Structure 1
Amino acid sequence: MKLDFNSLRLRLTAGVAAFSILGLGSLASWTGWRMQQILIESHKKNIEEIATQIPRDVEMLSKMVPEEQAISQAINNFKTNNALLWVESLDNKVLAKSNTVMNSSKSQENELASLTQVPIKPKVVQIKNRYFVLCSDSLSLQGKVIGNISVAQDITRDQTMFVVMIQSVGTTSILVIIIMAGAIAFYIQRSLKPLRQLSQMTEVISADDLGKAQLYLDKAPSEVKQLAETCNMMLARLSDSWEKERQFVSNVSHELRTPLTIVHGYLQSVLRRQQNLTEIQKEALETAASEAESTISLLQDLLELARADHGNLHLNIENCILNDIVSEVVEMADKYSERDITVEASKDVIEVKADYNRLKQVLLNLIDNAVKYSEAGTPITLKLTRKEDEGCVQVCDVGYGIPLQHQSRIFERFYRVDEARNRAGGTGLGLSIVRTLVEGMGGKVSVRSKLSEGSVFTVSLPV
């Protein structure tokens, strides 16, 4: 399934998941930092107490024994497990070191004692694979600083537990984020279901359904219901506008056809008595008669479509021999066209359900279309085939062809492809009428075309 990065569902899921990651990540980081502080605080008091008590003991013992012996004795008086105490002179020479047994190795103790900079405030450091809390303070004797005393508390066990706990918190946070993202995606999908239903309902509404189309959602949020009501009002307005437009086209076509027919008749009558006409007058009258005839044809097409829109297009569906209809149409087309029109058909008789006269009109329109949009002298071929429960007629030409981007719209009303098709002078209604008639007879029409190679229009009707 391809992800749509512009979908509302993906954006909401990603947004909530990002905020969840940020929130849980911040919480986990703060928890880790806070636990580290608690770990340090738990040992800080003991270390600071040792670092404070040693100078006082040294001060007292120095009155009874030599200075170095007093320092060593004061350090050894503290029996603190897992803690190392040592005193360094001002020139970083170790004056004394405790004999406390630690879990660390001697090399680690020596490495601790060799540290040149021990922090004054307690701080966690790692020596190889063990962790220590370090702290130092100055050692004064009789008001004179003689060195520094340092304390190292082994907290490897506590730190290991802390690391395991942090890892557990991190793993738990990741699992919680994954579960939350899945739950959020499911919840958002359920929440957007009314919008998808609304989209599916509007998708199937056609121009003929505008008057009776109603969008209704039972268990939907109030905002979606309000949207559905707004769409219903919009559909009602569109239906009213569409009905007025169709009525206008029908009325205008009907009102104009009669006077134009009369005008065309008078023009033809004058042309038949052309003895007293000059060549210029004759040419002008012929042009006027031709334009009147084209306009009458256009109005007739508009009336046909208006009847179809109002459901008044009556078709006399009966069993028809497709072979006979094609032969009759080709014979009629030969009379007004100088093209070579051929028929390719098997000897089998193909019987279809159609309106005999309307089917002739469809095929004549397609042949006329092929004549208009192909070069003079190129052949036009009609192919008859039967496919399962359909009888098919293909009208093939070797013409200009139709660009791929226009083929899906070629049957729309007044839609005309640029360039060659405009030069042919079509009205853009012929193919629309073809589709209306064919679909009214229960069939379908399609086109397959390539530029500069020609077009194939296929009419399929039920047998």
Structure 2
Amino acid sequence: MFLIKSLPNVKQLSNLASLRVRLTLGIASMSILGLGVVGMGVCWQMQNILVVAHKNNTHYIADRFPSDVEIYSDMVSLEEGTQKAIDNLSNSQTLLWVRDTQGELTAQSEALKMGMRGKNLLSLTDIASQPEFRKIGDRYWVLCSTRLVVKGVDLGDFHIAQDITKDQMMFWGVMRSLLMVSIIATILMTGSIAWYIQTALQPLKRMSKTTKDISPETLGQVQLELENAPSEVKELANTLQTTLTRLSNAWEDQRQLVSNVSHELRTPLTVVSGYLQSTLRRGNNLTDIQKEALETASSEADRTIQLLQDLLDLARAENGRMYFHLETIVLNELLGEIEGMVHQYPIPVEISLPNESVKIKGDKNRLKQVFLNLIDNAVKYSHSPEPIVIQLSQEKQQANIQVCDRGVGIPLAHQTRIFERFYRVDEARSRNVGGTGLGLSIVKTLVEGMGGTIKVISKPNQGTTFTILFPVL
């Protein structure tokens, strides 16, 4: 009974088709998209607040400047009053200048006059009346221009430039820090999501591990136990458990039916075959047509009896009732006996034996059945007169028996299924050569029942090699 008690080892995220990867990438992508939108919104809002604050300050200076000039002009001339107002409002970040109606520079901040700051500002001619954010060279400025009228006198254009480079660099620094924090948070979040999804999918992985190696013989032994699983997964497990139980019962009923039918039909068919053969032996007055009909009926009866016997053997093996008389066998001697039994085949059979004796534990009669089935199969599907070669060798602690032919071969897509019962690579050819489609299935059952293994290597139109391996004594 298979009980799921522990978690399997989890592979890294590498399969893009897996549910875990898709969920992780999907949730992480949506989270990153959400964080990105929020981050962009925060950045835009912070930038807007920064620029708006400086624009408001520029508005304040533009509104205040004419009144300051008017106050100073009560004591000095308008030109001197304008310069004093500029000096009063200027600082390291705020630069002011005035151009008269002819475009001549009449007043400016000390930093502009000395060429310390804003060298490119005085050449600007397209400054808007509303404060605007602009990058000039490697500096960031908020610029504004307004008409300066004092005591009814038009003094020209008054220009304001506020250097916000320091604030802007600080803003970009904050943005870089925020970006780094976002990247780290995204990585941690993705890892957390992957871990959580992995944990949530563990019941499904346990179900997959349990059902992966189910065979017809173990259908009734499977038990799905999912502790702490979500209710949907438990419902799926219960449905699967019910399905497996039904399949197990159906498989057992089928095996029992095959066994019973094969057993019940074999006896009457054996009697029929005996009567047909007896009639053929004693029927001296039979016509040629009658003899041909009786021979055909006898042949089909014998073939059906062999089919039923094969089915019985397989049924016994599946039910654990096929017994082997295991003894020490010298394969050299056994294959020597086989060599004396294959002269009736139309294609020669060559057997290559080593000088050293190769001993295994096996059932002599069952082994003969295995080799004769493989030789019979090779003869049926050979299209050339080249001999069938049986080669015995010992490699390390294994006896290696190869049965090679130069027949039609087996396509790669069919090689994994040729040991299935009733499976035929070419149905049309199989009907022509005869056979029940159970020979290779019985061979595999017998070989594995005696502790050996069998494998096949084949190429179309080049031949097939069956290799049987047994542990040596």
Tell me, yes or no, whether TM beats 0.5.
Answer: yes
Q: What is the aligned-residue RMSD (CA, Å)?
A: 2.6
The question of whether the paired residues in 2 share the 8 Å contact of 1:384 and 1:394 is answered with yes
Paired AA for residue 22 in structure 1: L
Paired AA for residue 162 in structure 1: F
Is 1:329 the counterpart of 2:338? The answer is yes
Structure 1: runs of 5+ lacking an equivalent: none
Q: Which residue, out of 283, 289, 298, partners 2:292? A: 283
Equivalent residue, structure 1, for 2:221: 212
Distance in 2 separating the partners of 1:400 and 1:423: 14
> Post-superposition shift, 1:219?
4.3
Paired AA for residue 277 in structure 1: L
Equivalent residue, structure 2, for 1:450: 459
Listed as ranges, the matches of 1:109-258 within 5 Å are 109-140=118-149, 147-258=156-267
> Post-superposition shift, 1:399?
1.0
Distance in 2 separating the partners of 1:26 and 1:122: 28
Distance in 1 separating the partners of 2:183 and 2:73: 59
Distance in 2 separating the partners of 1:143 and 1:7: 80
Distance in 1 separating the partners of 2:278 and 2:160: 127
Distance in 2 separating the partners of 1:251 and 1:144: 124
Describe the superposition over 1:240-264 as per-residue Cα deviations: whole angstroms up to 9, x where unpaired: 1111111121122122222222222
The question of whether the paired residues in 2 share the 8 Å contact of 1:194 and 1:224 is answered with yes
The question of whether the paired residues in 1 share the 8 Å contact of 2:350 and 2:389 is answered with yes
Paired AA for residue 170 in structure 1: L
What SS class does the counterpart of residue 221 from structure 2 fall into?
coil
The question of whether the paired residues in 2 share the 8 Å contact of 1:446 and 1:458 is answered with yes
Q: Give the direction of change, closer, same or farther, for the CA distance of 1:83–1:155 in structure 2 (3 Å limit).
A: same
Equivalent residue, structure 2, for 1:357: 365
Paired AA for residue 257 in structure 2: F
Equivalent residue, structure 2, for 1:342: 350
Paired AA for residue 244 in structure 2: L
Q: Which residue, out of 9, 14, 20, partners 1:3? A: 14
The question of whether the paired residues in 1 share the 8 Å contact of 2:96 and 2:159 is answered with yes
Equivalent residue, structure 2, for 1:273: 282
What SS class does the counterpart of residue 332 from structure 1 fall into?
coil
The question of whether the paired residues in 1 share the 8 Å contact of 2:384 and 2:406 is answered with no
Paired AA for residue 240 in structure 2: C
Equivalent residue, structure 2, for 1:315: 324
Q: TM-score, normalised by structure 1?
A: 0.91
Equivalent residue, structure 1, for 2:36: 25
The question of whether the paired residues in 2 share the 8 Å contact of 1:83 and 1:100 is answered with no
Equivalent residue, structure 2, for 1:49: 60
Q: Give the direction of change, closer, same or farther, for the CA distance of 1:376–1:51 in structure 2 (3 Å limit).
A: closer
> Post-superposition shift, 1:288?
1.5
The question of whether the paired residues in 2 share the 8 Å contact of 1:416 and 1:422 is answered with no
Percent of residue pairs bearing the same amino acid type: 50
Q: Which residue, out of 415, 419, 438, partners 2:423? A: 415
Q: Which has the higher mean CA deviation after the structures are superposed, 258-267 or 351-360?
A: 258-267
Equivalent residue, structure 2, for 1:385: 393
Paired AA for residue 400 in structure 2: C
Distance in 1 separating the partners of 2:52 and 2:302: 103
Describe the superposition over 1:405-442 as per-residue Cα deviations: whole angstroms up to 9, x where unpaired: 11111111111112655542332210000001111111
Q: Which has the higher mean CA deviation after the structures are superposed, 406-415 or 43-52?
A: 43-52
Equivalent residue, structure 2, for 1:98: 108
Describe the superposition over 1:148-207 as per-residue Cα deviations: whole angstroms up to 9, x where unpaired: 322111222222211111111112212222232233223333332332222111112211
Distance in 2 separating the partners of 1:67 and 1:97: 11
The question of whether the paired residues in 2 share the 8 Å contact of 1:374 and 1:397 is answered with yes
Q: Give the direction of change, closer, same or farther, for the CA distance of 1:90–1:26 in structure 2 (3 Å limit).
A: farther
> Post-superposition shift, 1:311?
1.4
Equivalent residue, structure 1, for 2:436: 427
Distance in 1 separating the partners of 2:119 and 2:385: 107
> Post-superposition shift, 1:238?
0.7
Structure 2: runs of 5+ lacking an equivalent: 1-11
The question of whether the paired residues in 1 share the 8 Å contact of 2:111 and 2:117 is answered with no
Distance in 2 separating the partners of 1:437 and 1:269: 34
Paired AA for residue 393 in structure 1: I
What SS class does the counterpart of residue 106 from structure 1 fall into?
coil
Aligned length: 460
What SS class does the counterpart of residue 326 from structure 1 fall into?
helix
The question of whether the paired residues in 2 share the 8 Å contact of 1:58 and 1:71 is answered with yes
Paired AA for residue 339 in structure 1: I
What SS class does the counterpart of residue 169 from structure 1 fall into?
helix
Equivalent residue, structure 2, for 1:260: 269
What SS class does the counterpart of residue 394 from structure 1 fall into?
strand
Equivalent residue, structure 2, for 1:299: 308
Paired AA for residue 214 in structure 2: I
Q: Which residue, out of 72, 83, 95, partners 1:84? A: 95
Is 1:397 the counterpart of 2:408? The answer is no
Q: Give the direction of change, closer, same or farther, for the CA distance of 1:422–1:286 in structure 2 (3 Å limit).
A: closer
> Post-superposition shift, 1:69?
5.0
> Post-superposition shift, 1:116?
2.0
Describe the superposition over 1:288-331 as per-residue Cα deviations: whole angstroms up to 9, x where unpaired: 21111111111111111111121111221221222222122222
> Post-superposition shift, 1:64?
7.7
The question of whether the paired residues in 2 share the 8 Å contact of 1:316 and 1:355 is answered with yes
Distance in 2 separating the partners of 1:105 and 1:413: 102
Q: Give the direction of change, closer, same or farther, for the CA distance of 1:6–1:97 in structure 2 (3 Å limit).
A: farther
